[in-house]
């Protein structure tokens, strides 16, 4: 798209990749399904069930409140900590990492424009939260506890620990300003506690699921507290939405991305590699992995037919992974689609000195790392092409709020669209219930006695299979 | 093994997992291949071509020199930076992250026992090295430039940039003590420059490839400069080697890991998920991914027959990924083997307050994050089992030098052994040559004119496939 990100899928196609590529006829065949998927998504949007799309237009009030809150926090806080897991952690971490300095927390405050340091604690490893408490001053720290359900045990346990420490160190009254809750307006344990204690709260619209929530207060508050221009982020998403509305399904980069991925899956490529050539986008690949994996990995289709479908995301980083996973991508089985993300422009430039005395490597003199990473991207694309491995490239003019907003929104729509093409529900996650229930039973939670009995009766471990 | 890591593969087997599992007969069938692979590896070791195994016994002199160097660095340096890519970066990063504080670089110096901060720069993204230079004081920084070939363009370009800055800021003579080179004794550009300039050097034994080099000076010097007990690390590897020598192929955890992975691959599981339930082992999963992907992803077998073989590693982190990729692992296609890494003991303990007022979540009161992460691990294992997804668990008594040495060595042997079972060369990486040559051609390097012409003639990009 003009003034926007570009999707180049030449290397998916027969003309470039040869016999194993996708043919014009494949695309013609899938086009009716694409039109139908487009129609279905539009219907769902009209009836209000795709609220994650609508929020990019109707959050003016929330955004103003977020900006005001962030500006208040900047006055006194040195540290901003997200307590969350899954979609409540991956989006905030990805956006902050993409747009801020690569060693942000090690910059002096003035180089952070006065914004607080930024941490995301997304695990219950006891070394993690303890470790964080070693290095922060709780008196100048804000904890943003994010959980859609308000009952996520990992996040709620972190919250309980932090609340206790704050109240013991600062007193119940002073602890208040250190806690902000982002959760559902009515459901779950967190909102009840927040209301009782009088904590500042932001709400996640009821129909916006965790992994589609980055452009809601889930992502916007943490971003704003890093000085990220959240209005531009939303503007980027809106520009992508409008472009999609104004162009046909074949010109829609999200739809085409989804359709090509599904065609590749149909032809046996059960792996989707996402490989940004930019350190700044490394965590965007993590965010995308949850989105693609959790949305499309499903046992049943919408008619209840067992399918066990899904395409497994694999994260790689260019140029680094040319010295790691690339050997497998080039020479291994034809079981992958490789998605490269490139940039037209990086934020910095660094030049290899022209007078280096470097033996055989003289050809590098005077080059920049900017040249080098671009050349490596092109050479990797070429090596994949020559090996007959399908690949496509998404190019961002640069990594800023606007284009990142486009990219996030594009991937969200692509995922929802792929769900339609695969005839599955992209918005639920029934497969995690089994593990949750087993955990509840092991904790001895009331109501899970039957599950506990089931667990006690599970196949025993044979010692001969433990070495 | 006693006093060591344990491999539990009950959930790979028919008895637990059901029809899709591995049968006793499958293992009996593969046993002759395992005996043969064992014999082959032993022969190779005897003839000296598995030097990465021998080095755990014969580096006394190097280790003393490394310890002396590290102790000298501790006297004056505040920062230690590894310049490397692939095996020269992943191992040092993994070991440091596993054994040191999770926010190590943000601890005050006394909490680091006087050891320098630690960074690994493994990309040529121009924002990365520039960003690092913003936050470090070059006057108190040591750069350890690591490249086996001595010609790796990413690492050598970083080296040229850093050398230039050091010499301009400190003068040619003073710059010397800031550079340590780890490379081949005779080959490549780096050793020539190091000899000419008089830099401190450590050598990578000529037959030790990059991804098998963590227990050589590649990994040992960076570890020692973080105060890690490298003798214990080696002792752990030796204990694993001895255990393997004293036990049969069926009791060998590395061999069994490889055999089960290959059996799973044969049955269509082209994906190997590695999922530590420990933040500290997150980067060990990255290190393992290179090892498994680059060693086993091969176009040809050792007889030159085209195979396009390989199993794609996927990194996950427990419990975090129970809210991300786990939905796909449980409900998606049966195309994976899932390897969980658990700990008997974490370094810290953190408790959820007993008097928390948390509505329905009262069952969490008084629990620790240690309980929680263990319960989540067991519940995930159970959910996978119930869904019929093969999985195995490696348990470390704790994450310390000794057990980490065991784990690293076990994975290295497992990879070499899998190479034997798959009848491929696990120690080369011919597939990366195409990309390298294409990059040289684009840089205009002498001798690559034909490749340049080939690139100029590559299929053009059709605008209709760019949206």
Q: A376: which 2 tokens?
A: 């490596």
User: Tens-digit pLDDT profile for chain A (467 aa)?
Assistant: 888 999 999 999 999 999 999 999 999 999 999 999 999 999 999 999 999 999 999 999 999 999 999 999 999 999 999 999 999 999 999 999 999 999 999 999 999 999 999 999 999 999 999 999 999 999 999 999 999 999 999 999 999 999 999 999 999 999 999 999 999 999 999 999 999 999 999 999 999 999 999 999 999 999 999 999 999 999 999 999 999 999 999 999 999 999 999 999 999 999 999 999 999 999 999 999 999 999 999 999 999 999 999 999 999 999 999 999 999 999 999 999 999 999 999 999 999 998 777 778 889 999 999 999 999 999 999 999 999 999 999 999 999 999 999 999 999 999 999 999 999 999 999 999 889 999 999 999 999 999 999 999 988 899 999 99
Question: In B, which residues are within 8 Å of A350 by CB distance?
Answer: 126, 129-130, 161
The C-alpha of A64 sits at a distance from chain B's nearest C-alpha, in angstroms, of: 30
Neighbours of B359 (CB within 10 A): 16
Phi-psi region of A310 (alpha: psi -120 to 50; beta: other; left: phi over 0): left
Of A156, A297, A315, the CB nearest to B332: A297
Provide the sign of the torsion angle of the four alpha carbons A104, A287, A60, A119, taken in this order: negative
Q: Is the Cβ pair B151, A277 closer than 8 Å?
A: no
Per the annotation, the verdict on B436 as an active-site residue is yes
Q: Is the Cβ pair B320, A122 closer than 8 Å?
A: yes
| Chain B CB within 8 Å of residue A156 CB | yes
- Alpha-carbon span A144 to A158, nearest angstrom: 11
B429 closest CA partner among A385, A316, A276, A322: A322
Interface test with B, best of A81, A99, A126 (most B CBs within 10 A): A126
The C-alpha of B115 sits at a distance from chain A's nearest C-alpha, in angstroms, of: 17
Q: Which residue of A has its CA nearest to B192?
A: A359
The C-alpha of B64 sits at a distance from chain A's nearest C-alpha, in angstroms, of: 30
| Chain B CB within 8 Å of residue A332 CB | yes
| Chain B CB within 8 Å of residue A445 CB | yes
The C-alpha of A278 sits at a distance from chain B's nearest C-alpha, in angstroms, of: 6
Q: A417: which 2 tokens?
A: 């669209």
Interface test with A, best of B332, B342, B374, B455 (most A CBs within 10 A): B332
| Chain A CB within 8 Å of residue B132 CB | yes
Of B106, B347, B434, the CB nearest to A386: B434
* Residue with tokens 């890991």, as numbered in its chain: B257
Interface of A with B in 260-299 (CB under 8 A): 270-271, 277-280, 289-290, 293-294, 296-299
| Chain A CB within 8 Å of residue B354 CB | no
Q: Is the Cβ pair A280, B127 closer than 8 Å?
A: yes
Q: Is the Cβ pair A323, B385 closer than 8 Å?
A: no
| Chain A CB within 8 Å of residue B463 CB | no
Interface of A with B in 389-428 (CB under 8 A): none
Per the annotation, the verdict on A214 as an active-site residue is no
Interface of A with B in 68-97 (CB under 8 A): 85-87, 89-90
Q: Which residue of A has its CA nearest to B437?
A: A379
pLDDT value of residue A460: 85
Of B164, B296, B437, the CB nearest to A353: B164
User: Tens-digit pLDDT profile for chain B (467 aa)?
Assistant: 888 999 999 999 999 999 999 999 999 999 999 999 999 999 999 999 999 999 999 999 999 999 999 999 999 999 999 999 999 999 999 999 999 999 999 999 999 999 999 999 999 999 999 999 999 999 999 999 999 999 999 999 999 999 999 999 999 999 999 999 999 999 999 999 999 999 999 999 999 999 999 999 999 999 999 999 999 999 999 999 999 999 999 999 999 999 999 999 999 999 999 999 999 999 999 999 999 999 999 999 999 999 999 999 999 999 999 999 999 999 999 999 999 999 999 999 999 998 777 778 889 999 999 999 999 999 999 999 999 999 999 999 999 999 999 999 999 999 999 999 999 999 999 999 889 999 999 999 999 999 999 999 988 899 999 99
B89 closest CA partner among B56, B115, B122, B113: B122
* Residue with tokens 């963590």, as numbered in its chain: B214
Q: Which of A196, A323, A463, A464 is catalytic?
A: A323
The answer to whether A202 touches A180, Cβ cutoff 8 Å, is yes
Q: Which of A101, A168, A172, A436 is catalytic?
A: A436
Q: What is the pTM of this model?
A: 0.98
Of A126, A270, A357, the CB nearest to B349: A126
- Alpha-carbon span A375 to A369, nearest angstrom: 10
Q: Is the Cβ pair A333, B270 closer than 8 Å?
A: yes
Neighbours of B168 (CB within 10 A): 12
Of A122, A308, A383, the CB nearest to B332: A308
Question: In A, which residues are within 8 Å of B451 by CB distance?
Answer: none
Per the annotation, the verdict on B196 as an active-site residue is no
* Residue with tokens 């995930």, as numbered in its chain: B380
Interface of A with B in 31-50 (CB under 8 A): none
Q: Is the Cβ pair B135, A376 closer than 8 Å?
A: no
Of A85, A297, A445, the CB nearest to B323: A85
| Chain A CB within 8 Å of residue B326 CB | yes
Q: Which of B154, B294, B412, B420 is catalytic?
A: B294
Of B383, B442, B458, the CB nearest to A435: B383
């Amino acid at each position: 798209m003009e003034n926007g990100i570009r999707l180049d899928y030449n290397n998916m196609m027969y003309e470039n990749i040869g016999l194993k590529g996708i043919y014009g006829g494949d695309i013609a065949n899938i086009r009716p399904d694409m039109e139908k998927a487009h129609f279905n998504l539009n219907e769902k949007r009209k009836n209000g069930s795709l609220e994650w799309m609508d929020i990019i237009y109707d959050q003016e009030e929330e955004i103003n409140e977020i900006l005001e809150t962030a500006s208040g926090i900047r006055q006194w806080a040195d540290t901003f900590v997200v307590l969350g897991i899954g979609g409540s952690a991956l989006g905030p971490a990805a956006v902050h990492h993409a747009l801020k300095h690569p060693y942000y927390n090690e910059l002096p405050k003035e180089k952070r424009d006065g914004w607080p340091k930024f941490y995301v604690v997304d695990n219950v490893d006891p070394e993690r939260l303890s470790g964080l408490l070693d290095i922060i001053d709780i008196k100048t720290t804000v904890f943003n506890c994010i959980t859609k359900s308000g009952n996520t045990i990992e996040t709620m346990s972190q919250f309980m620990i932090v609340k206790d420490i704050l109240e013991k160190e600062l007193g119940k009254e002073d602890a208040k300003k250190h806690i902000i809750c982002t959760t559902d307006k009515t459901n779950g344990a967190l909102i009840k506690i927040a209301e009782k204690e009088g904590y500042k709260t932001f709400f996640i619209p009821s129909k916006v699921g965790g992994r589609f929530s980055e452009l809601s207060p889930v992502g916007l508050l943490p971003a704003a507290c890093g000085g990220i221009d959240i209005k531009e982020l939303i503007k980027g998403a809106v520009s992508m939405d409008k472009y999609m509305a104004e162009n046909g399904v074949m010109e829609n980069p999200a739809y085409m991305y989804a359709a090509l991925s599904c065609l590749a899956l149909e032809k046996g490529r059960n792996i989707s590699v996402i490989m940004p050539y930019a350190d700044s986008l490394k965590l965007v690949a993590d965010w995308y992995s949850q989105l693609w994996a959790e949305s499309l990995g499903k046992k049943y289709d919408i008619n209840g037919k067992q399918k066990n479908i899904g395409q497994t995301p694999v994260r790689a980083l260019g140029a680094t992974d040319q010295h790691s996973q690339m050997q497998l991508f080039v020479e291994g089985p034809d079981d992958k689609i490789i998605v490269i993300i490139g940039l037209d422009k990086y934020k910095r430039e660094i030049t290899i000195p022209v007078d280096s005395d470097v033996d055989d490597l003289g050809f590098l003199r005077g080059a920049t790392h900017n040249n080098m990473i671009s050349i490596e991207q092109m050479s990797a694309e070429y090596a994949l092409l020559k090996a007959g491995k399908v690949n496509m490239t998404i190019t961002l003019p640069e990594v800023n709020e606007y284009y990142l907003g486009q990219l996030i929104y594009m991937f969200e729509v692509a995922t929802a669209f792929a769900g339609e093409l695969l005839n599955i529900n992209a918005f639920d996650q029934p497969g995690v219930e089994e593990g949750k229930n087993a955990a509840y039973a092991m904790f001895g939670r009331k109501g899970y006695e039957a599950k506990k009995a089931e667990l006690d009766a599970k196949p025993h471990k044979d010692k001969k299979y433990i070495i």
